[in-house]
Amino acid sequence: MSAVDRLQPIETLPGQERYVAPLDETPLREVDSIDESAPATSMWADAWRTLRKNPLFIVSAILIVFIVFVALFPSVFTKENPNYCSLENSLAGSSANHPFGFDLQGCDVYARVVYGTRTSISVGILTTIIVVFVGALIGAIAGFCGGWVDGVLSRLVDIFMAIPMLLGAIVVLQMFRSSSSIWKVVLVLALFGWVSVARIARGAVLSSKNLEFNTASTALGSTPMRNLFRHIIPNSLAPVIVIATTSLGSYIVAEATLSFLGIGLPTTTVSWGGDISKAQSILRTDPMVLFYPSVALAITVLAFIMLGDAVKDALDPKSRTE
């Protein structure tokens, strides 16, 4: 039976008679017409629209704006000097000007929490900036060049990956105990933090490098470098931004941990980690001294992690959990 034989007209079966829909019920539209009413949306505009509606983002954004404001202008919130400690106030309870009371050394806990914000936020933000810059650059180079360059850089990343960040930081910081700037913590955290960003950036560049619009662009006369900066990097930014926002919180935690261990920031610098460390000895007698800096730390980290989640949802709709 060839195909054509099957088509000999035979009587139609019931229910299969010829049917033509009335035209007024099925109006024809222009072939491939454009819906001009819908608003134009770029990826960023889309992401912003999603973000704006996300309660997670609203809450975390308000918190972060507040925290950053506190970090920038601590004197608005307290008139006390966090470094002015007098032993006669040791473990004194809260009063009108000192809502959180005093610690063992007689320092004002509220003032120290407020001034500690600045340390945490600056370490977090500075580390993130360095990490993103270094990590994205190395990752992008590895992904874009490929070949032996990628081989060498990827092994380097693997080596750093093998060293636990905190352990490495402890070892390195032991060597620079004398230095008293926050930069030492920032640089150490960046030294062990860039690898995760580099990995993500390399993957993102690799996948957007092979997209067809790069070939199209080359055929239009674009150079590889132009492709890298005009097409590949903009298309690889989203995952890097996501990892940067989520890891900002973890740098703040790492700084606090290092300060708690006594090898991070010098004792003269007001920091939540250092205060928590000092407060642990009097945990039984006055737990509130430990409570306030811990809560401040927890809220800050939570705010950044929530922001990271919201940004991830907005930039990568596929990962959204409905």
Partner 1 sequence: MEELDKVTQATANTNAASQSEGAQSSEEAMRAVQLEHGPLLEVKDLQVDFTGEGGKPVHAVRDSSFTVFPGQWVAIVGESGSGKSTSAMATLGLLPGTGHVVGGSIKFEGKEISGYKPKDFVALRGAKMGLVPQDPMSNLNPVWRIGTQVKEALKANNMDVSHEKRSKLSKALADADVTVNNEGDETFIGSQELPALLEAAEKALIEIGIEGEKLSRRMAQFKRDWVAGSETRWRVADALIKSGVKDDDAWYIAKKYVTGSSLEDRIAGLLDEAGLPDAATRARQFPHEFSGGMRQRALIAIGLACRPELLIADEPTSALDVTVQKKILDHLQMLTDSLGTAVLFITHDLGLAAERAQHIVVMYKGQVVESGPSLEVLQHPQHPYTKRLVAAAPSLASQRIISVKSRGEDASSIMEHQVNAEKLEKSETIIEVDHLCKQFKLPRKKELFKAVDDVSFKLKRGTTLAIVGESGSGKSTVANMCLKLLDPTSGKVTYEGTDISSLKGKDLLDFRRHVQPVFQNPYGSLDPMYSIYRSIEEPLRIHHIGDKKSRHARVAELLDLVKLPSAVMQRYPNELSGGQRQRIAIARAMALNPDVIVCDEAVSALDVLVQDQVLELLNDLQAERGLSYLFITHDLAVVRQIADDVVVMQHGKLVEHGTTDDVFNNPQQQYTRNLLDAIPGGKLELGLDL
Q: For binding to partner 1 (CB under 8 A), which residues are involved?
A: 1, 3-21, 23, 25-26, 28-29, 31-32, 34, 36, 38, 40-43, 211-213, 215-222, 226, 231, 234-235
Instruction: Considering the complex, state which of residue 14 and residue 55 has its C-beta at the smaller distance from partner 1.
Output: 14
Widest CA span in the chain: 109
Question: What is the chain's Cα-based Rg?
Answer: 29
Instruction: Considering the complex, state which of residue 10 and residue 162 has its C-beta at the smaller distance from partner 1.
Output: 10
CA distance 95 to 82: 16
CA distance 273 to 265: 9
> At its nearest, how many Å lie between partner 1 and the CB of residue 224?
12
Instruction: Considering the complex, state which of residue 11 and residue 88 has its C-beta at the smaller distance from partner 1.
Output: 11
Instruction: Considering the complex, state which of residue 28 and residue 162 has its C-beta at the smaller distance from partner 1.
Output: 28
Residues 239, 204 contacting (CB under 8 angstroms) = yes
Number of residues in the chain: 322
Tell me the CA distances in angstroms from 254 to 120, 186, 261, one per residue in order: 10, 10, 11
Instruction: Considering the complex, state which of residue 15 and residue 96 has its C-beta at the smaller distance from partner 1.
Output: 15
Tell me the CA distances in angstroms from 175 to 127, 170, 178, 254, one per residue in order: 20, 9, 8, 18
> At its nearest, how many Å lie between partner 1 and the CB of residue 119?
37
> At its nearest, how many Å lie between partner 1 and the CB of residue 226?
7
Mutual orientation of helices 272-279 and 233-261 as an angle, nearest 10°? Answer: 30
**Backbone φ, ψ for residue 265 (5° rounding):** -80, 150
Residues 95, 105 contacting (CB under 8 angstroms) = no
Instruction: Considering the complex, state which of residue 179 and residue 223 has its C-beta at the smaller distance from partner 1.
Output: 223
Adjacent-strand bridge partners of 98: 95
Instruction: Considering the complex, state which of residue 90 and residue 207 has its C-beta at the smaller distance from partner 1.
Output: 207
Residues 123, 104 contacting (CB under 8 angstroms) = no
**Backbone φ, ψ for residue 26 (5° rounding):** -130, 70
Instruction: Considering the complex, state which of residue 25 and residue 88 has its C-beta at the smaller distance from partner 1.
Output: 25
- Which is nearest to 70 in space by CA: 19, 134, 115? 115
Tell me the CA distances in angstroms from 309 to 56, 202, 246, 294, one per residue in order: 8, 21, 7, 22
Residues 301, 254 contacting (CB under 8 angstroms) = no
